[in-house]
Chains A and B, each alone.
Chain A
Amino acid sequence: MTNSIGEIENAQALFVIGSNTTETHPVIGYRVKMAQKKGASLIVADPRRIELAEYADVFLQLRPGTNEALLNGMINVIIQEGLADEGFIRERTEGYEEMAAAVLKYTPEYVEGITGVAAEDLRQAARLYAGADSAAILYTMGITQHTKGTDSVLAVANLAMVSGNIGKPCSGVNPLRGQNNVQGACDMGALPVVFTGYQRVDNEDALSKFKKAWGVKLNSQPGLTVTEIFDSILQGKIKALYVMGENPALSDANLHHVMEALEKLDFLVVQDIFLTETAALADVVLPAAAFAEKQGTFTNTERRVQMVRQAVNPPGEAKPDWLILQELAYKLGIEWHYETPEDIFQEIALLTPSYAGISYQRLEEEGGLQWPCTDGEHPGTPYLHQGKFSRGKGLFTPVEYRPPAEEPDEEYPLVLTTGRNLFHYHTGTMTRRSNGINAFKPEEMVQISIDDAARLGINEGDMVEITSRRGHVKARAAVTEKVPPGIIFMTFHFHEAAANLLTNNEVDPVAKIPELKVCAVKVEKTEP
């Protein structure tokens, strides 16, 4: 997020796109609703009539996979109606002309043909967003999990810059991160191209700095992303996989492909707190401590580094991941001498400019710090890009709409879009083992429109079979007004009805994110 969570409440306009905030980030969802009650304009864009749609001034129910057209359309209106922030564009950005030329054809009427959103609603949304003194965009995987997710993110940035809604309190671009420490995992360099703090592995200065600090030889060739790793396993290029606290056997697109890869490996080691679907395939399983059984830090979606404290002991012989890693390193001939997580954190701060001013002592005293925090006196950064972008000038990038990789046809006439529900989390490793939650929401309920259900003879609670080109699953139907005709929705929480057996593993060319939000399926009523 470029803003802080606390700023949401005071924004004058909020544009929520591709984020079912009240279910995936409930506490941020409360803030959005509070802002709306305090008078903020609320614009919501989502293929489903999510809860926030009920609070929205304008609800744009777009077809799945048409984000860039919608965003380009809003920019078109902002420019045509003289709502662009010309001073901001002139002083803070570059590339405006090319971008403006690219959105010319995205008139509200043209966009209506692609997205299904009424031209007048689009105009109204653009006016509310660009007309407010402060406006923040919130988005999640509804923007990114597409074969053109990178384009959508660029279009979001174009929209924010054209209206000058970035680099100020309550104004910015705010991807809401989905996992407790996904921000931290990225910051710590759990990515193929970067060390900590986004220092590239192919940058000579960074490489020599880490070589020196770690006393080892390092590879300057960028590595592979998770989607590429599975392809490479199947090509025989990767032979061993070490998985720490992830469950790709349920979370990744096109599970048959993933399972084939996991089974082809010469060696699979999984470190986790439960015998997950992935761990069950492993050659060795290492028992790890859970969050409340160890000390450390998490970094949340607003870049706030916070202390994680130990409340209880790990069960049996389970150990914290950091200790397991250190003991394994020793067996591999690499000697580390960390006595506590704090020792590790000090090394991180030393090697990571954006974390340089953060210490356990300050986290204890100040209750969390938002990076960049570059020295011991730095108070942290509640919002980014004040006065200047990280790269200097903000770069507009022309974006063209492309259809999703797979569109409905006669054989597979419906679009499946996937996500989470309020009660469960990711692959259910934790929530399916929480007694109350699992008792209350024990199974998948595939959401189907009233029209489609009537046409297919499906009633609420009927067992249905959902089939795509890649697989098929069975689940009970929830007949609902939340989804429009032509679209069904499933979560990926339930191994009994694993939505990712169906999803498409075509990826975005830049970010390598699979198109989890759009694939073509058919639905039939079946026996339980």
Chain B
Amino acid sequence: MISLTINGQRVEVEPETTILQAAEKLGIFIPTFCYDPELTLVGACRMCVVEVEKARALVASCCTPVGEGMVVHTDTERVHAARKANLNLLLANHPLDCLTCEKTGNCRLQDYCYLYGVSESEYSGDRKNYEPDATNPFFVRNMNKCILCGLCVRKCHEINGAGAIEFMNRGFDSKVTAAFDDPLENSSCVFCGMCVDACPVGALTPKQGLRKGRPWELTAVKTVCPYCGTGCGLELYVKGNEIVGIKGDALSPVNRGLTCVKGHFGIDFLQSPERLTRPLIRKNGELVESSWEEALELVAGKLKEVKGTELAGLSSARATNEENYLFQKLLRSLGTNNIDHCARL
């Protein structure tokens, strides 16, 4: 074990632990843009810089391993000045349209500017002026807001493997794009949405929730994805009676926040105008709306007419355990074991 001191508190950690992880263990907050524990460490954003006694310069805590006897300070004037300078540089080229930006209230750039009291940039100069790209059906890409942290690029390459996006050009002209700067739908992108969940600012915005609610107006409901058998944890963001956003549940042991296109962007069928809202009964060859009372009476009457094994039932691999249990209980209680579902299909 390695012993070090952070802000006057001693902590013991495994070798190879980073200063950031050691600080997390003590509950000490360090701001980051480009850090994600699932991804390669790049130390690119420099927001996580801290002061290490006897070190020549400030170090990026996300990718600096701890050392025996190290003395770290995370909240000195020197550290604050560096982080403020960083924010100043980012804001010099970032739209301040927070009033209408979907990310407001959930934006790390906004949060850190608030924390360090940076309201506008001290620098002036050219600004990026890209046309927002809304051509794909799932999310809007506004590269004027991108802070080039690279989380999306690494998610795409390291977790998904699609490798659809990459940095293009250098310096001021740096931009995250698909090959040839083509729209994503013409690339190898499979729209898993993990880049959208990873983006710390408002550069990537799902279309489903546009102008549907601010983060503080939404209730997060944790549940399980209704598609394949993996059972990924999802967080559904609800306002009123509408689901306006979906994210992978980072705390789920199954998917640790990872998603695919169906779970991330395929839940809007719930709001389809084609949903069945009333029972239907066939009358003169046509299905017409009825009351529950009439429909259930009719079904019960017909089921009473058939004897035991003349009845069969197909239960549902989409329904809950409780519902499948009751379905077989009902049919078996009526004298038939002719019960199956689509496990074979």
Residues of chain A touching chain B, judged by Cβ–Cβ distance below 8 Å, are 5-6, 22, 24-28, 30, 33-34, 37, 51, 55, 144-145, 176-193, 195-196, 201, 210, 214, 216-219, 221-227, 229, 232-233, 237-246, 248, 251-253, 266-267, 269, 272-275, 279-280, 282-288, 290-294, 296-302, 304-313, 315-322, 325-329, 331-332, 334, 336, 338, 341, 344-345, 347-348, 367-368, 422-423, 425-426, 429-431, 433-437, 439-440, 511-514, 516
Contacts and interface: CB of A to CB of B under 8 A. Distances in A.
Contact of A440 (B191, B258, B328): B191
B314 A192 contact: no
A265 to B, nearest CB: 9
A64 to B, nearest CB: 18
26 contacts: A6-B253, A25-B228, A145-B344, A179-B342, A186-B343, A188-B315, A188-B325, A189-B325, A191-B339, A216-B333, A224-B338, A238-B338, A244-B314, A248-B342, A266-B302, A267-B306, A298-B231, A299-B231, A326-B326, A344-B326, A345-B321, A348-B321, A425-B227, A425-B266, A434-B268, A437-B265
Contacts of B338: 192, 223-224, 229, 232, 238
A307 B255 CA distance: 15
Interface string B250-268: 0111110011111001111
A407 B70 CA distance: 71
B281 A283 contact: yes
Contact of A287 (B207, B259, B277): B277
A264 to B, nearest CB: 13
Contacts, number: 464
Interface of B: 136-138, 158-161, 185, 190-192, 207-208, 219, 221-233, 236, 238, 241-243, 251-255, 258-262, 265-270, 272, 274-282, 287, 292, 295-300, 302-306, 308-345
Contacts of B137: 435-437, 439-440
A282 B328 contact: no
A238 B321 contact: no
Contacts of B320: 181, 184, 294, 296-298, 308, 321-322, 341
Contacts of B344: 144-145, 225-227, 511-514
Nearest to B324: A188
Nearest to B266: A434
B71 to A, nearest CB: 35
A300 B224 contact: yes
A192 B138 CA distance: 42
B190 A190 contact: no
B340 A226 contact: yes
A252 B242 CA distance: 34
B260 A284 contact: no
B192 A26 contact: yes
A193 B329 CA distance: 13
Most-contacted residue by chain B among A55, A287, A320 (CB, 10 A): A287
Contact of A316 (B274, B277, B327): B277
A161 B136 CA distance: 48
Given A328-B300, A434-B265, A244 B340 contact: no
Contact of A318 (B242, B276, B300, B343): B276
